[in-house]
Each structure stands twice: as structure tokens, then as C-alpha cells.
């Protein structure tokens, strides 16, 4: 199942060390100006080697757009794209042929498929998230027309964390540091921790917070197509994600209904708003027009530079020590991936809702 | 989108105060003996009025199986079913016609559809989860043949919580008390808290832990069809769910890779196992044969018996106070729903995997 | 796969001799007045026993609408419905337990599922088409708002046939005779043939022509979602259908491009039309605003009252002779089924197109 | 909707004059040896310039396989592929910018999307069928392991036709002439007709017959997933297809049930077979183990070298005369496309059936 979405769909292919990574975006609305600068920016935010906090692997990750665009506008036809793999040291991985690396997908791919491309994790490599960023960039081009904005940032690395409330921060600052954290002081602490972990040859986890602003009320398709169900599924399709919550999330379980309910009040324009937003912008699976916010938990990634016990493909005990270039903390580079998945999800639901909303007024 | 699943599919319909709740189970394997006692038990676990901890509303919730069964075996044809609504005091809800209840779906349904069945929440009522329990019961009948077992229990109510590690408990005890918590002492504390909250006319949240045991390695369809993505989507389709995590989840974000990795070791039967299971039984989106465990966060439900501010359908400020029979804590009755969603998900992935696994050996 | 459609979806269940036949309509736009008279009429057109040309089996086929409707309007929530089986003489079918009837689905269901409900064909009975007519009736309620009209009629029975060109007939006459043929003289000949075949204990095939008028240009989702592909798939899901063609169809294969092309000309309102419509209203998989017309071939149904050779479930040669009440010609009752499938298809594509059309103008 | 299939899925992209044509094959079973010679052969059968009967346009159509293959075996991961456009004379098409060509998709794409890539038909070009042949080649690699064979051939061009019964021909001869007709004498007549039509600057239609041999009983997913419904949908997704029939098809409508029914008889191996195969290998939507055969009607393609009336994009009357290199008859090159669509369909249903068949015996 390498296709994501219902009306706006991304189909992806590619391995870490094959010819390249690519995909097909289907259901992109027609007539939208292609913002190549936006696409380049999203790719740059995800690419390795962008700072001292990430892997030193250096890949330019240039996207070739193959179809679906004419005279710089989307045509409504599928957008094929390809990013060639250029910096693939496959020989670095020859030692992986016989080994199942701990907490990697080596064992499960072998169990499921009976064989695997062991070079750099093959299909299970996080390099596959390139396709999300391409899809997300096109989704953002459409969302920009709707004034729907998707923003994510690093809110926790290890035990260093921001306040849960995203409204306390100027989110526009998050791209001004390598960690992608909107508080420069905390960002520096996070960066220090990541560098320390890197020195140790270890890895560290963290949390990314996402916020969708400008979503109209009405997006979401109850009961199994609840907006939060799709967002959760989208986030759990990202490597290393172990948790998702929206609104008050896990912290709300200790609360009483009387202080979690969001009271409706008239707004200044004659409409209806809520005085609080514990719900996270979704009620009954449908957006209510308030900000949609959520948190995504990332485990420390599995590739560490320390020797570990493991077994070989025959089940015999052995040891394994990774070498090469790896991310000590996936968070900074995962921020654009979280945004991309959220952008594709919200656009998909926008289109689904558009299909039938106010039909009776025709 | 009232259909759940890919090969094993549940399509559901029905409102709280209409004729009834029902659905269609499609993709049920043929030739499986229908275990009516199992079905009755699942329905009894979900039904209202089962204890002093739940709503006093008393509905027998008898399931009529309409098709897809012949001489007590499944035929591979779709299983239609219907549960009539019997105890619907629609007149109780006349006051809701003009009101948007705080943190209910009244407003969002109205915004999306332009009208709504306001009686008892209509389609957004948790009564809709009946269909999950029917679907889950049939999924369990198939999983029983595979020795795959799905178990859920209440692990936290408000601030009263069990240890995270499900292996510390005898899960078979969880059905011996009204809270569905496997520790009888903690269960009693939880029950006390729920009763106290009920007295206050308020509600309280909590956490349900789920464990899937006996799953073979190989279930999951990377990259967008990761097993955890489907489980998360399944759980977030349940009313009041605000968070989902699997394996170490959010607690793992503060850890290092070196203590989160699950080292592979030979098992006693010549196979391969892991010495720890921080991963929660899934690696690279595919089950690895270890226990799959996860936690689901429920907010305190929105219906409280205290007066609240709100607006009417014209956006004018007013107040609202619910009366009638409501659950002070949804957890005890949500346990079978969590199991049902997990059971349908795992069976669906079992069937998907079966479609192509070891094809090359044909 | 008992679900039909993408955004407007019908999920169906039920067997000929079980509790009943029913389904779920999902994706019905909200706010549409329920036209119960239209629903009753569609059911009456399909029901057995309506004339001397059909089976004498007499079933009232009353539809109970279970959900998705409030104060006589659709709510956007799924519409569950149920038609009870009332006139099921199961004992009539006891002789089928051990037999595979020629050209019925007995053998293939047994081969696929390992067991079968042999009573009256079980799931493979044409009684299942009830659900299409319910779904089609709701689709028509929505299409009526769009001034899209779907009409089908019997254009051939055995060798007695109308001219291919539907424009030569007043289609409103087709419901004035039992055959559902718009030419009263030919209709009488067809009726005579059907009665004669009935007397012989035999069955006869024929062709139904369908016309969709008022469809706007732009419906269809290339390349695999071409409108004609969906219409064809819809028609081939009906029992006894062996062929489908649209526009000039098979007859066009002997023609030259120069006399098959539809030349574009300005229309009287400043728009664009075509001077001919050999294409059948679809070009490149997308409707062009002209009439969409097609023909559906039905074989003579398999149930004849003559003795036939066959085998029993153990593969031993035996003979079989059907008795009871059967249709000598399925065409008259299939006309509303063809309309229903076409109506659901065109509405589904209308909704799909609505999702993204003119997005750039937002 | 540029994705075809349920478990075996082809997603396609590309225009006639963009960078290239490509796609993603998802759901390919793992561990299957990649038969590059088979792939090359299928591409050669479809490519332009292969004989005097086809367009003189000469494109090598080399397929680059980008992923999903490791050490010459499929890995179960998606197979991305790309065929670069090399012989695109875009300037040839500048005159199309302002014109809607008769019976082409120019008008409908413009109506639907508000803009179009007018060069060579853009997305609506038959060049898109390249992706079907790649998908079909991989499907055939899997089907070869199952001894399921898919064969198509030209059975009619204009009024020159073979006997309907495919069993009268040695199908292996069909690749020995440019028309792809198994009767060499008729093939020569067809070739003469095509050349004559070409001389006239005109085009001619015809019929392709397809045969699937070796399919086991049990493939097909009633009721909406009938095997014939999927085959029909597959064929109608091909450019210029106007009709589809299977078994006796349209010719059976004039017959009686008593001579159309396929009587079951014991076969020589203790199994069950039918003495005739009017049904075309499918009963109740499920394969019965006999040959599946069908016929596909192609209209004369729209591009003729004669002057035609038409309108420009502003709706003003004008004339149009195509020049350049075009197929006078699409049949010879469509034969491998028909095979490809049939192969993908039957493999998809094989996988679907495999998911649940004999589950009860586990």
C-alpha cells in the first residue's frame, strides 16, 4: 500500500540505494500555478547535510517533475516526479546482507517478503519521505489559495521541551535555527543535546507539534473518516513515530468534562466560535473552524554507532556496529515531513467536503 | 466514509434515535462457525446499564443477523445486521433542537450538512459503536482459528493508573470488575472515582491499553499501510479518543537509541526473537511476531449535568444543562470497542498479507 | 466486494431466502427531500409478479429506511435499508442441495467458498438487485435537482428489435406496456414472444438501451476512471449481462474515422455542440454534454423448466428440472436496474468532478 | 483516477510530449524473477513504427525500472518505471492550441480542467498505454508461475473478420504477421484494407478477441466485484474502445436458455467441467475453470488526414486537417494492451481470492 489519500493521492516508490525515489501525485486540482520556490524550500528543509545536527550525507535531492504541468500550471493530470539517488555508497552496506539490525525493518521485511534490499534499509529508509515533501509542497500550493496554513516545529528533544501551548510562541521563528524550534533559547539547548548525543554515537527522540490554521468548519467524514483518524494514520506512516495526540491529548485524561468542554460563544463577526480549544479544532470528527493542533512523538532512531548484539540471517548470535553518516536526532528533518502529511490530509478532506457540501442549494 | 477496512470491511449506519443501528460485514472468510455466545458477550460488554458505573439507560441491544450465514457457518457473503433502538426517549431531546452543546458534534454536523438529527447526538452518538462490536466479534471468530488474541483493559481513570507494563498483570482478571481493570485494588479505586465524578454531575477521562498476542511476523503493508497507521486510524475513529501510542510511545522520546533498540536473539525453537519489546511488536510498519501493545487516551465525555454557557443555532448566547442518563466515564464500555477495532484491523492485515505471501513458492 | 462507487457508495447484503435484502447508501448529499413516491415506483418496476410476462412470485418488497433521514430530508449520514423476504418457499429448494444447476452460480460459489446457501441461488439470486433500485432511487432524487435524467427501455427481445437510434422513439411511452418498450407495436410482438417462450418452459435474451440526458460536460476521471469504464463495470455487475457498448459500439468497427467523427459546431447559445453523436456523449473518458447512450446485452436466464443434464456435488452425472416460478425473460424487470446503476454512476462522477472543478477560481 | 486495481495496482502518469510516461506497480508479489526479455517483447509489440501498418513515428520506448527489484527479483516493494519521450515534435502541434479536434479529448479536457496540454493529445494520447504494457508484463511474470496464460489477437478489421470461435485457430500464429491475426490469409486481407485506408488518409475500426486460459475456478468477488465487471472496466479504460462482450455476448441475446446453458459433466480427472462454454468461463461473477474469452470493439481512431469542420477554443467555426504520423488502425498495437489489462485484472483477482480462500482449513 504505497498510495496515500482518497481524492488527493500520493503514490510513492523507491529505495535508499536504487536508481531513485519518486512518485505520482493524483487528484491535484487543475490551473494552479506551480510554485517551484516553495517546492525547493520544502526539499531543502528535509535534505540531509543541511546542518551540523543532521547526517553529513550530502544529497542535493533535485526533483524532476515529469508530467501534469503545462505552461507552469497544473493540468489536473497526474504529476510524476523523480529524485535520483546520487550519493549512495552501496558498498558501505555489504556487511548488512547477513545481519538483522536491532529495531530496524531488516527482519520484518525478510519475514514478510522472503528477501530484501539490505542497502541502506532499502524501502524502509527514511529517504522515502522525500516523496511526502513533494506531495506536501503541491498540497500547500492549493492550500495557499484557501488561506489554510500548516506549520510544524520541534517542541521537545529528549527532556528539553517547550510549553504545550503553541500560542505562546511566534511560530515564524522556528525556521531560524537548525532544530526548527520557535524559542531560540530552548532551541540552543536542544541543539547542544543533539550534538552531545551525536558525540556519544547515540540517538535521541522528541516531539513535533503541528498546527493547521484557517481550516473552515466542515472538514472530516464521519464515522471512520474522522479528520483526526486520517491525521493520525498520516503521521504513523512516518518512520520512527510512536505516538500521536490532538487537542489536549493524553494530558486531558486526568481532567473533568466541566473543564475540558469548549463553550460556544458568539464571535465578533456574527458567527460562532469557542472560548477555549481543548478539542483541538475537531468535534465529532469534523473541523469546527478553530486551530487544529497535534503532537507527534518520535523515538530515538535505531541507527547508533555503538556495538550491539544481534543475530544473522540464520538466527545465529553476532554483534553489529553501524558506521557511516546518520542522524543523531530525526526531529529537525522530520518537521517538513509532518507538515507535508498534514497538508496532504487537509487538502484531501477539503476536496471530499467540496464534493457534496451545500448540494441541496444547487 | 462509513466503511472501515480493506479486505475485511465494516460498513455502518444508524442514529441514536432512529429505527436502529446496523451494518454490513464484507470480506468475512467463508466456512467459519458462528460463535453466537461470543457475539452476545461482546454486546453485553458494550451495552449501557451493565453496572452502576455506566449510564442507567437500559437497552438489550439484540443483534439480528440478516445474511451471510448458512447452517451456522459464514458463507463468504456479506453479513448484514441490525440492532433496533428500543429505549429512545426522543422527547427528552426536543430542547436540543435549538442548541449547540459544548464539545459535542452538534455544531460541526450542522456546519457540514446544513441540518442534523439532534436527537441524542444522532449519528455522532457513541451508540454507533455497537457496529464495531459486531464486526469485532466476527473478526475474533476468525482470529481464534489463528490463535491471535486481542485483549484490552482500563489502565488509567483520571490520575489513578496502573503501571505501563501490561506484563505485570493477569489480564484475564480485567473482566471480573466493572471498570475492566486487571488489578482489583486499583479497579476499586477507579470505581470510587467514577462514582464520585458521577455524583458531581461531571465526567472523567482515562486510558485503555490494548495487547495483541499471537500475531505472526509479516503483517503490515509499508509505507502508508503500516500496521501502526491502521491501528491508530482505527482507534481515532472511536468517540472521545484524543491520543494513541504504541510500544514505548510518548515516554520513549526522552530515551536514547541505545536503550530503546530491541536486540535480536535466537529463541528456544531455532527462530529469532527480541530480548526486549520497546518497539511494541512492529518494526518498519510490519509485525515482528512479538506482542503488539498500545495505549488509547479518552477525554472526559462532553455530556455533563452542570449548567454550561453555549449558543443557540442562531449564534445567540444561552445556557444549557443536560439531564437524563449518561456515562460519567466511557472507559469501561469502551474496552470492548477498542478490542473490536484492533481485531478487525489485525484480521484485515492478516488477509492482505495472505494474498501475496510466499507467492514465489507456488 | 459488495460496495459500489467512490463518493456515492452502495453496500449491499442479503440472500434470496434469508431474512432479507438490504444495504447502506453512503455519500448521499445532505438536505435532499426524500421522494418516497419515486422510491415506491422504482421498487414496483422491479418487483416480481407485476405482469404476466414475469415470474408469478409475488413479493411486496417494502423498503424500510432505517437511518440517514430526518424530518424527511437526507442528513448526509448513511441510509440503511432493509427489505424483508416474505414469500420464500425454502422447501422448494431442498433438491438443489446436492445439485449444480447448469449456468447458475452454484458450482462457482461452492468452488470459491467451500459451501453455499443453495436456496434460490442465495447471494447470486437476482433478488439482490433490489438494493440497486433503492440506491438508484436516491441517486435520482439528487440528479433531479441537477436536471440529469436517466432512462432505459427494452430495445430487443430475441430477434425482435427496435431501431438502434433512441431518438426515433418517444421514451416516455416505454412504461406504458409490460415489456418497457417505447414502440407499442413492437412491444406487443415482444410480449407475444415472451409468452410463447414461457409456454415452452424456456427463456429468451435481449437488449436494454440506456440514455442519460442533461449531463454537463466534464464528468469522468481519466485514465482508469473513464466514465464509460465505470458504466460498463456497473452494468456487468447485473446478473445475466454479457455485453455492453456505448455510442456506435460494435457497429462502429466497420466504419471509417471520416464518418464516425463528431464535428464540433457552434450552438445556438454561443456554446459548442457536435453535429452528430457517434461518440455517445463521452470523449477521452469525459462527458461532452451530449446525450450518453449505451446498450446492454442480457443472455436468456439459466432457469428453464426443461430437464437438463448436470452433475451433483460429488461430480456424478444426473439430471435436473427446475420447477416453480421464474422469469421467461429478464428484460422488463431489468430496465429499472439498468437505470439505477447508471444513475448511481453518474451521480458519483458528478460528485467527484465537483470536488475539484474550477478550484483555481477560488 | 490514475490507479487501476485493488491488490495489484498500476498508477500511471505522463503525457505524449512531456518528459516521459511512467508509473508505479504496487502489490507485485515478492521473489519473482524479473523476465526482462518478456518486458522488452511486450514493449516492442506496442511501440509505434513496428510495421507499415502503424504510425511511422519511431520511438524506442526503453523502460527504466527504478525500484522494487533487487538482484533481479521483485522485492514486494513498488516498482517505479519511466519511459522518456524522445521523438516529440512539439512544434508540430502548435496549430492545436486554438482548436478542438473532432472526436478527440481536446474539448472535454478543456471543459473539465479549464486548460490542457494540447501537444499530441497530452494525457489523452494513446501513448499512455505504455504503462499498461509494463504493468501487464509484470503481471504475466507472476501468472506464468500459475500457468495462467493471456492471449489476444485481432479478429476483425472493418468488415473482414474471423469466425467468432477462437478454438478454430492456432493462436500462436497471431504474432507472425503485422496485424496480429492467427489466420494468415485473413491477416493479409486485413493488412491490405489497413493500407488502403491509410492511403485514403482515413482510419478503420475492428475487434480484438481475448482468451485467458488456465484460470482456476473461484476468481471473482461478487456482487460488484464480478470478474466480468472488472474485465469490462479494464478494457473500457483503453482509448477508442466502444464495446465489450464475453462468452456469447451480444450474439446470445437471440438464443433460448435451453441452448445457451452450459451443462456440467464429469471430467476425465474426477473433477467437473462443462460440455459447452457459452458462459465464457464465468458464472455468477466467478471463474469456473473454463477458458475466459471476450471481444473488445475499437472505433476507427479520430485522427484522419482529411479536412474536417470544427470550432476553435472560442467556439468559432473553422476547419482542421491533421498531418504527421498516425495509425490508420489501432488494432495491431492494441493487442498487447488488451492482454496487459487482462493480465493485471486476473492477477489482481487471483490475489484477492488467495487472501481468504480455504481460510476455514487453517
Please report, in tens digits, the pLDDT of each residue of chain B (362 residues total).
Answer: 999 999 999 999 999 999 999 999 999 999 999 999 999 999 999 998 888 888 777 777 899 999 999 999 999 999 999 999 986 666 667 788 999 999 999 999 999 999 999 988 899 999 999 999 999 999 999 999 999 999 999 999 999 999 999 999 999 999 999 999 999 999 999 999 999 999 999 999 999 999 999 999 999 999 999 999 999 999 999 999 999 999 999 999 999 999 999 999 999 888 999 999 999 999 999 999 999 999 999 999 999 999 999 999 999 999 999 887 789 999 999 999 999 999 999 999 999 999 999 898 77
**Interchain pair C242, D244: CB under 8 A:** no
Sign of the Cα torsion C259, C261, C266, C271 reads positive
Structure-derived torsion over alpha carbons of residues C50, C51, C55, C56, reported in degrees to the nearest 10: 80
Give A-chain residues touching D20 at CB under 8 angstroms: 66-67, 80
Closest to C110 in 3D by CA, of D286, D274, D215 = D286
pLDDT score at B268: 87
**Interchain pair D244, C243: CB under 8 A:** yes
**Interchain pair A75, D122: CB under 8 A:** yes
**Interchain pair D272, C104: CB under 8 A:** no
Centre a 10 Å sphere on the Cβ of residue B49 and count the other Cβ atoms it contains.
Answer: 15
Give D-chain residues touching B29 at CB under 8 angstroms: 356, 359-360
Closest-approach residue (CA) in chain C for A75: C360
Residue appearing with cell numbers 428489435: C161
CA D132 to chain centre: 7
CA distance A107 to chain D (A): 14
Q: If chain D, 362 residues long, is cut into consecutive pieces of 10 residues, what is the mean pLDDT of each piece?
A: 97 95 98 97 92 77 96 97 82 82 95 93 94 98 98 98 98 97 98 96 98 98 97 98 98 96 92 96 98 98 93 92 87 98 98 93 74
Residues 6+ apart with CB under 8 A from C218: C286, C287, C353, C357, D108, D111, D112
Which residue(s) pair with B64 in the sheet? B82
b vs e for D213-226, b when ≥16 Cβ sit within 10 Å of the residue's Cβ? bebbbbbbbbbbbb
How are beta strands C69-70 and B308-312 bridged, if at all? unpaired
pLDDT at C196 over 90: yes
Residue appearing with cell numbers 481515532: B236
Spatial distance between the Cα atoms of A310 and B100, rounded to a whole number of angstroms: 58
Which residue(s) pair with D282 in the sheet? D287
**Interchain pair B311, A232: CB under 8 A:** no
Spatial distance between the Cα atoms of A271 and B306, rounded to a whole number of angstroms: 25
CB D34 within 8 A of CB D69: yes
CB C298 within 8 A of CB C242: yes
If pLDDT is split at 50, 70 and 90, which confidence band does A90 have? low
Spatial distance between the Cα atoms of B288 and B300, rounded to a whole number of angstroms: 35
In total, chain B counts a number of residues equal to 362
**How big, in percent rounded to 5, are the helix, strand and coil portions of chain B?**
35, 25, 40
Q: What are phi and psi of B283, to 5 degrees?
A: -135, 125
Return the higher-pLDDT residue of D35 and C120: D35
Helix (H) and strand (E) counts in chain D: 7, 19
Spatial distance between the Cα atoms of D62 and A31, rounded to a whole number of angstroms: 31
pLDDT score at C61: 85
pLDDT score at D53: 85
Return the higher-pLDDT residue of B95 and C243: C243
CB A313 within 8 A of CB A98: yes
Burial class (CB in 10 A: 0-12, 13-18, 19+), C159: exposed
pLDDT at C321 over 70: yes
Mean pLDDT over residues C43-48, rounded?
93
CB C41 within 8 A of CB C309: no
D77 and chain B: CB distance < 8 Å anywhere? yes
**Interchain pair C13, B78: CB under 8 A:** yes
Q: pLDDT tens digit string along A123-176?
A: 999 999 999 999 999 999 999 999 999 999 999 999 999 999 999 999 999 999
CB A71 within 8 A of CB D7: no
CB D67 within 8 A of CB D74: no
Closest to D132 in 3D by CA, of D12, D298, D295, D44 = D12
Which of A187-201, A325-339, B79-93, B135-149 has the least mean pLDDT?
A: B79-93
DSSP string, B322-343: --S---S-SHHHHHHHHHHHHH
Spatial distance between the Cα atoms of C245 and D244, rounded to a whole number of angstroms: 6
Share of chain A above pLDDT 90, in %: 87
Spatial distance between the Cα atoms of D27 and A13, rounded to a whole number of angstroms: 12
**Interchain pair C299, D253: CB under 8 A:** yes
Provide the grid cell at C349: 462522477
Q: pLDDT tens digit string along B25-66?
A: 999 999 999 999 999 999 999 998 888 888 777 777 899 999
pLDDT score at D91: 64
Closest to C150 in 3D by CA, of C161, C164, C140 = C140
Centre a 10 Å sphere on the Cβ of residue B33 and count the other Cβ atoms it contains.
Answer: 14
CB C13 within 8 A of CB C134: no
Picking from D85, D113, D114, D128 by the largest number of A CB atoms within 10 A of its own CB, the best residue to mutate is: D113
Which residue(s) pair with A310 in the sheet? A318
Return the higher-pLDDT residue of A285 and C361: A285
Question: Residue C39: left if φ>0, alpha if ψ -120 to 50, beta else—which one?
Answer: alpha
C64 and chain B: CB distance < 8 Å anywhere? yes
Residue D256 DSSP code: B
Spatial distance between the Cα atoms of D313 and A204, rounded to a whole number of angstroms: 60
What are the residue ranges spanned by the domains of chain B? 3-356
Which residue(s) pair with A156 in the sheet? A161, A207
pLDDT at C92 over 80: no
Spatial distance between the Cα atoms of C130 and C20, rounded to a whole number of angstroms: 10
**Confidence (pTM):** 0.97
Fold of D3-356: Chorismate synthase, AroC fold (3.60.150)
In total, chain C counts a number of residues equal to 362
C24 and chain A: CB distance < 8 Å anywhere? no
Structure-derived torsion over alpha carbons of residues B260, B265, B271, B277, reported in degrees to the nearest 10: -20
pLDDT score at B338: 98
Give D-chain residues touching C297 at CB under 8 angstroms: 245, 249-250, 252-253
Residue appearing with cell numbers 447502506: C24
Spatial distance between the Cα atoms of A336 and A332, rounded to a whole number of angstroms: 8
What beta strand segments (E) does C85-217 contain?
Answer: 99-100, 149-157, 160-161, 206-213
| Among candidates C124, C205, C285 on the partner chain, residue whose Cβ is nearest the Cβ of D252 | C205
Rounded alpha-carbon distances, angstroms, from residue D300 to D46, D207, D329: 18, 11, 7
pLDDT score at C88: 62
Residues 6+ apart with CB under 8 A from D274: C102, D262, D263, D264, D265, D288, D290
Centre a 10 Å sphere on the Cβ of residue C184 and count the other Cβ atoms it contains.
Answer: 12
Closest-approach residue (CA) in chain A for D30: A113
pLDDT score at D188: 98
CA distance D24 to chain B (A): 14
| Among candidates C22, C70, C122 on the partner chain, residue whose Cβ is nearest the Cβ of B80 | C22
pLDDT at C91 over 70: no
Give D-chain residues touching A64 at CB under 8 angstroms: 19
How are beta strands B99-100 and B308-312 bridged, if at all? antiparallel
Centre a 10 Å sphere on the Cβ of residue C311 and count the other Cβ atoms it contains.
Answer: 24
B147 and chain D: CB distance < 8 Å anywhere? no
| Among candidates C111, C158, C228 on the partner chain, residue whose Cβ is nearest the Cβ of D217 | C111
Angle formed by the axes of helices C227-236 and D227-236, to 10°?
160
CA C227 to chain centre: 16
Amino acid at each position: 500500500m504505497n498510495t496515500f489519500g482518497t481524492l488527493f493521492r500520493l503514490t510513492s516508490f523507491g529505495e535508499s540505494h536504487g536508481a531513485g525515489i519518486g512518485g505520482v501525485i493524483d487528484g491535484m486540482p487543475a490551473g494552479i500555478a506551480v510554485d517551484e520556490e516553495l517546492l525547493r524550500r520544502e526539499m531543502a528543509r528535509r535534505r540531509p547535510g543541511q546542518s551540523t545536527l543532521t547526517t553529513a550525507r550530502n544529497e542535493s535531492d533535485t526533483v524532476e517533475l515529469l508530467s501534469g504541468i503545462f505552461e507552469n500550471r497544473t493540468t489536473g493530470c497526474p504529476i510524476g516526479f523523480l529524485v535520483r539517488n546520487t550519493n549512495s555508497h552501496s558498498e558501505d552496506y555489504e556487511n548488512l546482507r547477513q545481519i538483522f539490525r536491532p529495531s530496524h525493518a531488516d527482519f520484518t521485511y525478510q519475514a514478510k517478503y522472503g528477501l530484501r534490499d539490505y542497502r541502506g534499509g532499502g524501502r524502509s529508509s527514511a529517504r522515502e519521505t522525500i516523496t511526502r515533501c513533494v506531495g506536501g509542497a503541491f498540497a500547500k500550493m492549493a492550500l495557499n489559495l484557501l488561506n489554510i496554513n500548516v506549520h510544524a516545529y520541534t517542541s521537545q528533544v529528549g527532556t528539553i521541551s517547550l510549553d504545550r501551548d503553541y500560542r505562546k510562541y511566534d511560530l515564524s521563528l522556528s525556521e531560524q535555527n537548525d532544530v526548527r524550534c520557535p524559542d531560540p533559547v530552548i532551541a540552543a539547548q536542544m541543539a547542544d543535546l543533539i550534538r552531545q548525543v551525536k558525540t556519544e554515537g547515540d540517538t535521541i527522540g522528541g516531539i513535533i507539534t503541528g498546527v493547521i490554521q484557517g481550516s473552515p468548519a466542515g472538514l472530516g467524514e464521519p464515522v471512520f473518516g474522522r479528520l483526526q483518524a486520517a491525521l493520525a494514520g498520516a503521521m504513523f506512516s512516518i518512520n520512527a513515530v510512536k505516538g500521536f495526540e490532538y487537542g489536549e491529548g493524553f494530558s486531558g485524561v486526568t481532567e473533568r468534562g466541566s473543564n475540558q468542554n469548549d463553550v460556544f460563544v458568539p464571535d465578533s463577526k456574527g458567527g460562532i466560535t469557542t472560548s477555549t480549544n481543548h478539542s483541538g479544532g475537531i468535534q465529532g470528527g469534523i473541523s469546527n473552524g478553530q486551530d487544529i493542533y497535534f503532537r507527534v512523538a518520535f523515538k530515538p532512531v535505531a541507527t547508533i554507532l555503538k556495538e550491539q548484539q544481534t543475530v544473522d540471517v540464520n538466527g545465529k548470535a553476532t554483534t553489529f556496529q553501524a558506521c557511516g553518516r546518520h542522524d543523531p536526532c530525526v526531529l529537525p528533518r522530520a518537521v517538513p515531513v509532518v507538515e507535508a502529511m498534514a497538508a496532504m490530509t487537509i487538502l484531501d478532506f477539503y476536496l471530499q467536503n467540496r464534493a457534496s457540501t451545500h448540494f441541496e442549494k444547487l
